[in-house]
Amino acid sequence: MAERLNGYRILILETREEAQFSRLLAEQGADVLQCPMFTIHDAPDAAPIEAWIRRAIERPLDDLVLMTGEGLRRLMKVVRQISVEREFVDGLAKARKFARGPKPGRALREIGLEPQMTTEKPTSEGVAEMLSKLDLAGHRLGLQLYPDKDHATLIDAIKAQGAEVDTVLPYVYDAQAADANIVTAIEEMAQGRIDAIALTNLGQVRRLIEVARARGCEDRLRQGFEHTPIASVGPAVSDELKSHGLRTDIYPAEDAFFMRPLISAMAAALSKNPPRATARS
């Protein structure tokens, strides 16, 4: 697949795994325009995170639900700061571990663990559906949350199954810091300077729409989408696009909703037309 994207300019909006996605695209020769959706920071108050970690060691969890890979990595950062890595990882090894999509699974493997189950739908609804099939009565369940999402429905659904839910939120978003970059990316699309936009989670679609509306450039965003191929990593992203009246042009092979299959699908689809940079020269 070497240099199958040579000369194509690809816009990516990934934040947590932006560096990896950018590297994979660049290996295929792509000119990557990176536009982070958010700036991510550690939670401003580490005390609740430290307390959650110590509870997980002193009262081992029966179940752990990881909503993001970033969440576990931020937890591990605090774990190492307070010098309890061995105790924490040993405790997690005894718990059933559930991942919202593939990214938390990758973060677990970084510390030598594996998820017992991964959601087919990488959404809160998908997590609730997965857990609904299990007996959670009397279980102590750790739930790692992520910012800018109302998790009350998920928490209530887990509690309704008889579990004690212990939540932790290890990081925060700084949305304003990224707004100017998002507006610039929208204008690049509107002016026909992008060969494809690659979307890897549904939050990216929502964020694009929100910023465009707030900055008065939603028309420019939709103009950009009209003549820019839209690549979606999987069904959750495509459903979100559809809900905003947008289409999916490029999609990975069925049941292969990861970065590499998405890149392969992009290379196959874009090869049918020359790069816009070439057309402009």
Identify the pLDDT of residue 42: 93
Q: Does residue 65 carry a pLDDT above 80? A: yes
Nearest to 100 by CA among 75, 80, 125, 79: 125
E strand intervals along 134-177 = 140-144, 164-168, 171-174
- Please determine, for residue 111, whether its predicted confidence score (pLDDT) is greater than 80: yes
Q: What are phi and psi of 61, to 5 degrees?
A: -75, 145
The per-residue pLDDT for 16 is 57
Q: Per-residue pLDDT for 279 more than 50?
A: no
Question: Any idea which residue has 């609740």 for tokens?
Answer: 48
pLDDT for the residue 281: 42
Task: Please provide the average confidence, as pLDDT, over all residues in the chain.
Answer: 91
Task: List Cβ neighbours of 185 (8 Å cut-off, separation of 6 or more).
Answer: 11, 13, 33, 35
Q: What percent of the chain has pLDDT over 70?
A: 94
The string of DSSP codes covering 196-249 is EEEE-SHHHHHHHHHHHHHTT-HHHHHHHHHTS-EEESSHHHHHHHHHTT----
Query: What pLDDT score was predicted for residue 149?
Result: 77
The predicted pLDDT at position 181 comes to 87
Alpha helices in the chain (DSSP H): 18-27, 47-58, 69-81, 85-94, 102-110, 124-131, 152-160, 176-190, 202-214, 218-226, 235-243, 259-270, 276-280
Q: What's the pLDDT score for residue 1?
A: 44
pLDDT (0 to 100) of residue 89: 98
Q: Tell me what the mean pLDDT of segment 112-120 comes to.
A: 94
Measured CA angle at 254 (ends 15, 32), to 5 deg: 30
Q: Give the 3-state secondary structure of residue 137.
A: coil
What is the sign of the dihedral through the CA atoms of 220, 225, 228 and 231?
positive
- The pLDDT-based confidence of 17 (bands split at 50, 70, 90) is low
For residue 204, count CB atoms less than 10 angstroms from its CB and return exposed for 0-12, middle for 13-18, buried for 19 or more.
Answer: buried
User: Domains in the chain and their CATH numbers?
Assistant: 9-38+175-280 (3.40.50.10090), 41-173 (3.40.50.10090)
224 within 8 A of 68, measured Cβ to Cβ: no
> Of 256 and 56, which is predicted with more confidence?
56
What pTM did the predictor assign? 0.67
Model pLDDT, residue 79: 98
Helix (H) or strand (E) holding 113: none
CA 157 from chain centre, in angstroms, equals 23
Q: What is the mean pLDDT of residues 28-45?
A: 88
pLDDT band per the 50, 70, 90 thresholds, residue 254? confident
Coil, helix or strand at residue 119: coil
At 240 the pLDDT is 94
Q: How confident is the model at residue 141 (pLDDT cuts 50, 70, 90)?
A: very high
* Range 71-89 average pLDDT: 97
Residue 241 above 50 pLDDT? yes
149 against 25, higher pLDDT: 25
State yes or no: pLDDT of 82 exceeds 90. yes
Going from the C-alpha of 109 to that of each of 4, 120, 168, 262, 277, the distances in angstroms are 30, 19, 20, 22, 40
Q: In this structure, are residues 237 and 13 in contact, taking their beta carbons and an 8 Å threshold? A: no
pLDDT recorded at residue 3: 60
Question: Residue with structure tokens 């009565």?
Answer: 137
